[in-house]
A = this chain, B = another copy of it.
């Protein structure tokens, strides 16, 4: 659940089970990124084919978003409970735990906003995205004030988290202003994937599993190496989103072919123009 414990223990040379504490958010963000990416692609592809084949996608998306909100709120609730009832060894650890609870809380607010947006039509539609950007900005802010007095490598890997969270928040805010731009949504999804991957990388760097030799946290060459790693993680995230895109588009097309086999041929010419209008 939190990275601070491990660090403290490193200092006191007692290794607590902190690898899962970083692997958990890694899995959380990875699933979130993949899911939002898939949803964006699906929405985009459905919209492009809307004119010819009728798919009752709007109601479906509403139900999916409600479900998403509920999952988000309940999983966040569990995490907060977990953090709350854990034993608080020292004042510093209790403080750092508060950092994590705060971050979780804002993701919980996002879940609540998602549910409210679908339920009440009187709310502005982009409220969702605004709370998303809030959640990431708060995450960036907290991590920025989280690493005082640690080793340079530890600070560096967390500052990269700050960087990713900040850029993701900025993109989400841009989506408040510019709606339905599929590229922005995919970029945001790939950054969330990247954040997941990077959490896992941090876990492997700070708490090498299997009793492997620890990294030298003061060596600047390790920073240079990890900055390359970061870029490759990003490349990986881009490629995952790309493969996802190809897969979803193929799936939608093959399903549409069965539904309305004759109209697909006429569709091809309309697509490009559609696109220009939507992204403008």
Instruction: Name A's B-contacting residues (CB within 8 A).
Output: 44-45, 48, 91-92, 95-96, 98-99, 102, 105-106, 109, 121-127, 130, 134, 138, 141-142, 145-146, 148-149, 174, 176-179, 181-184, 187, 220-221, 223-225, 227-228, 230-232, 234-235, 238, 245, 249, 268, 271-272, 275-276, 279-280
* Known contacts A231-B106, A279-B126; A95/B225 CB under 8 A: yes
Contact of A130 among B149, B187, B227 (CB under 8 A): B187
Whether B221 contacts A92 by the Cβ 8 Å rule is yes
Contact of A231 among B44, B122, B125, B142 (CB under 8 A): B142
Q: Which residues of B contact A92 (CB under 8 A)?
A: 221
Whether A183 contacts B130 by the Cβ 8 Å rule is yes
Q: Which residues of B contact A44 (CB under 8 A)?
A: 124
Per CB-CB distance, the 7 closest pairs between chain A and chain B, nearest first, are: A145-B227, A102-B231, A98-B228, A124-B183, A148-B220, A122-B249, A138-B231
Contact of A227 among B109, B141, B225 (CB under 8 A): B141
Q: Which residues of B contact A126 (CB under 8 A)?
A: 183, 279
For the complex formed by this chain, how many copies does it contain in all? Answer: 4
Can you pick out 21 interface pairs between chain A and chain B where the beta carbons lie within 8 Å of each other? A48-B122, A95-B224, A98-B225, A99-B227, A102-B232, A106-B235, A121-B271, A121-B272, A123-B245, A124-B182, A124-B275, A125-B276, A126-B183, A134-B234, A141-B227, A142-B228, A142-B231, A148-B224, A174-B177, A176-B183, A177-B181
* Known contacts A106-B235, A125-B279; A223/B99 CB under 8 A: no
A234 vs B139: C-alpha distance when bound (angstroms): 13
**Chain B residue, CB-CB nearest to A101:** B228
Report A271 CB to chain B, min CB distance, Å. Answer: 5
Q: Which residues of B contact A109 (CB under 8 A)?
A: 235, 238
Q: Which residues of B contact A220 (CB under 8 A)?
A: 148-149
A279 vs B176: C-alpha distance when bound (angstroms): 9
A181 vs B129: C-alpha distance when bound (angstroms): 14
A123 vs B41: C-alpha distance when bound (angstroms): 10
Report A134 CB to chain B, min CB distance, Å. Answer: 7
**Chain B residue, CB-CB nearest to A271:** B121
